[in-house]
Amino acid sequence: MDSIVRTMRIVWRAELLIIEAKLSVAAKKIGATAFAGLIFVFGLGMLNVAGFFALAEIWGPVYAALGVAIADFLIAALLMVWGSRLTTGPELDLAREVRDSGLEELEAKAEDIQDEFVELRSELYALKANLVSFSKNPLDGAITALLTPILTLLIKSLSSKKE
């Protein structure tokens, strides 16, 4: 029973490691997305002003504003793509392996326990059948139990007298 509890603890710890790894990646993704949003806002504020004044002389005010906005959107899109591509490391695979092996061990032990219960059940059914037959006719069981040793003694005594 101790090994079952130990295995369940291992599975529980592996699940916690998996959850921690996933939460860590989710936090990094959220942080990257928030940072991308912050850069987007600053980009729209500062770069737009600077870019607008730089391009207004060359392209005119309308096309200068459009060029600055497109550059800001491209930078934000690149940061969003980078944030979405973050994945968990090898520790998640190791935690999954530990969890899976622990679950396999628990399944094997559960099958052993189930086999023991099936065996116990068949023994109880046999005991019940014997008790039912004994309760219906107790002399049959007693005669069978006593008759075998008596016949054995009788045969031995007869064979010893002949010799």
Q: What's the mean pLDDT in 100-106? A: 84
Give me the count of residues in the chain: 163
Calculate Rg over the CA atoms of the chain: 41
> Would you list the domain boundaries of the chain?
2-162
pLDDT grade for 30, boundaries at 50, 70 and 90: very high
Q: What is the mean pLDDT of the chain?
A: 81
Task: Please tell me the predicted confidence (pLDDT) of residue 138.
Answer: 66
Q: Please give the angle made by the CA atoms of 37, 43 and 46, to the nearest 5 degrees.
A: 140
Phi, psi dihedrals of residue 68, rounded to the nearest 5°: -65, -40
Residue with tokens 């959220």: 30
Whether 68 contacts 52, CB under 8 Å: yes
Is 23 a residue whose pLDDT tops 70? Answer: yes
| Angle in degrees, CA 136, 138, 141, rounded to 5 | 115
User: Rounded CA gap, 23 and 76, in Å?
Assistant: 24
DSSP string, 97-133: HHHHHHHHHHHHHHHHHHHHHHHHHHHHHHHHHHHHH
Does the pTM surpass 0.75? The reply is no
pLDDT for 151? 79
Does the pLDDT at position 92 exceed 80?
Answer: no
Token representation of residue 128? 């019940």
> Is residue 97's pLDDT more than 80?
yes
